[in-house]
Structure 1
């Protein structure tokens, strides 16, 4: 009878421990969801990638610099291309 009472006490303690642990995990998840909102998907379409005429680096077309002889990854490359006359 003593062993049965001892086992029931142990089982009850384990049950309490697990219940408290799960409650704490759920609270942490809900707090992190409140402080870190879900990322919103981008509303615009991605810009197509294009290669720099000078060095060949691919970048989004919206970030490229338009020059007289093509498109460039930076203003420096655009100026370098216009300085070298062939």
Structure 2
């Protein structure tokens, strides 16, 4: 029984030591600022196709009378 208590105490001390060490590492890690964007790069808006739900850049999407589509076939399908 005595050995079990000693083993439990050692495990608790080890757990506390390791937890503190991980916390110190996270606190000491340098905080990096977000990477700057290159001049002239714009953020692209992403839209979803009304028929299949595929996400694609708005610049590549086809705009129809009832919404935004990923292909000519889906634009025609929505018209029918």
TM-score (norm 1): 0.46
Which has a greater percent of helix?
Answer: 1
Q: Which has the larger radius of gyration?
A: 1
